[in-house]
Amino acid sequence: MTRKTLVGMALAVLTLGAVLAGCGGGTTTGHDMSSMSGSATKAPAAGQGDHNPADVAFAQQMIPHHQQALDMAKLVSSRTTNTKVVDLAGRIEKAQDPEIQQMTGWLSTWGAAANGMNMPGMTSGQPMPGMMNYTDMTKLQGMKGAEFDRMWLQMMIRHHQGAIDMAKTELAQGSNTDAKTLAQKIIDGQQAEITEMNGLLGQD
């Protein structure tokens, strides 16, 4: 083998080594790939975490419960000139409508029906706590002025107390963090409104 041949082979080996070294420097390890994959994973949507039947029942029952409160609030502007009652009704609508949308979203995520009245035990003979019956709602719709204010406040106090009882059940039995956070918000907000409504009744 000539000297020229040996030199050529040596250069080829050196070149191959440089190429392999360059490839090795750009290789991503399994740990790096895992980190990249983890960082690209999206956080779960609100309400998407662990949940149990109590969380589902809370949302299914609270949606129609809130809806009745909205129906009652919508009666106010055409039946009274009491600005304090009108203001309270507006705040109830502003608070509870977004909560209905929030709970409806949870049920969709959980693959559960949104109509809580289809649940076992939720028949027309077993209304949810604080819910008004058809007779009471019809009577309220026929009133105006101070008489309307009085009955509306009395009914809404009872309605709010029912929502608080349902929210306390969620805190005791539920497991979903978002649902329990909403339950506590309902307790705090509606208890404050009960105090306000009792004060308005005392002014009659």
How far, in Å, CA of 93 to CA of 69, rounded? Answer: 8
pLDDT band at 203 (very low <50, low <70, confident <90, very high): confident
pLDDT band at 123 (very low <50, low <70, confident <90, very high): very low
Mean pLDDT of the region 83-97: 98
Q: Provide the whole-model pTM.
A: 0.73
Q: DSSP per residue over the chain, as a string?
A: --HHHHHHHHHHHHHHHHHHHHHHHTPPPHHHHHHHHHHHSPPPPTT-S---HHHHHHHHHHHHHHHHHHHHHHHGGGT---HHHHHHHHHHHHHHHHHHHHHHHHHHHHT--S-GGGSTT-STTSPPTT---HHHHHHHHT--HHHHHHHHHHHHHHHHHHHHHHHHHHHHH---HHHHHHHHHHHHHHHHHHHHHHHHHHT-
Q: Does residue 66 contact residue 99 with C-beta atoms inside 8 Å?
A: yes
Q: Where are the domains of the chain?
A: 53-202
Residue 20: the pLDDT is: 46
φ, ψ of residue 80 in degrees (nearest 5)? -150, 155
Tokens of 130: 């604080």
How far, in Å, CA of 101 to CA of 127, rounded? Answer: 22
* pLDDT tens-digit map of 191-202: 999 999 999 998
Residue 189: the pLDDT is: 98
How many residues are recorded in the chain? Answer: 204
Which numeric CATH code is attached to 53-202? Answer: 1.20.1260.10
Closest CA to 31 of 39, 23, 21: 39
How far, in Å, CA of 35 to CA of 58, rounded? Answer: 38
pLDDT band at 33 (very low <50, low <70, confident <90, very high): very low
Contact partners, residue 81, CB within 8 Å, separation at least 6: 145
Q: Does residue 72 contact residue 155 with C-beta atoms inside 8 Å?
A: yes
